[in-house]
Amino acid sequence: MQIIHYLHAAILVSDLEKAEHFYGNVLGLSKIDRPLKYPGAWYQVGNTQIHLILDASIPSGLHNSEKWGRNRHVAFAVDDLQAAKAHLKTYGLDVQMSASGRAALFTHDPDGNVVELTEVR
């Protein structure tokens, strides 16, 4: 077996409207207009996708509340980490800088799913 490339990540959310605001408006991901047989939303990120799937029974909270990067998370590349940080702050989102010292930060969506933003130039 040989993996050819990465296709998508599925993220469980308890409130689809709040999740769509976060991923579509706050992060600025492009929503894919696709009819689904269940409540959810698809977003395109370069050559991959993020699939939001509604599940009202998902557990909330961080496994590791001290270091957010040590939780399950999805990571995106940004070209300007300080601009991304300022943008997230305008939405009142908490941000934790990477403990490793690299140019990365962590935030979370309305359900507590951790999102990493790493500066790539």
Domain ranges, ordered by start, for the chain: 8-54, 68-119
Task: Indicate the SS3 state at residue 29.
Answer: coil
Separation of alpha carbons 47 and 44, rounded Å: 7
For 121, residues 6+ apart whose C-beta sits below 8 A from its C-beta are 79
What integer pLDDT is reported at residue 56 of this predicted model?
Answer: 83
Amino acid at 109: D
Query: If you average pLDDT over residues 3-22, what whole number do you get?
Result: 93
Asked whether this chain's domains 8-54 and 68-119 adopt the same fold, the reply is: yes
Task: Give the architecture (CATH level 2) of 8-54.
Answer: Roll (3.10)
What confidence tens digit (pLDDT) does each residue in 81-101 have? 999 999 999 999 999 999 999
What pTM was computed for the model? 0.91
Task: Please give the distance of CA 4 from its chain centroid, rounded to a whole number.
Answer: 23
In terms of pLDDT, which residue wins out, 30 or 61? 30
Class in CATH terms, 68-119: alpha beta
Separation of alpha carbons 98 and 104, rounded Å: 5
What integer pLDDT is reported at residue 58 of this predicted model?
Answer: 81
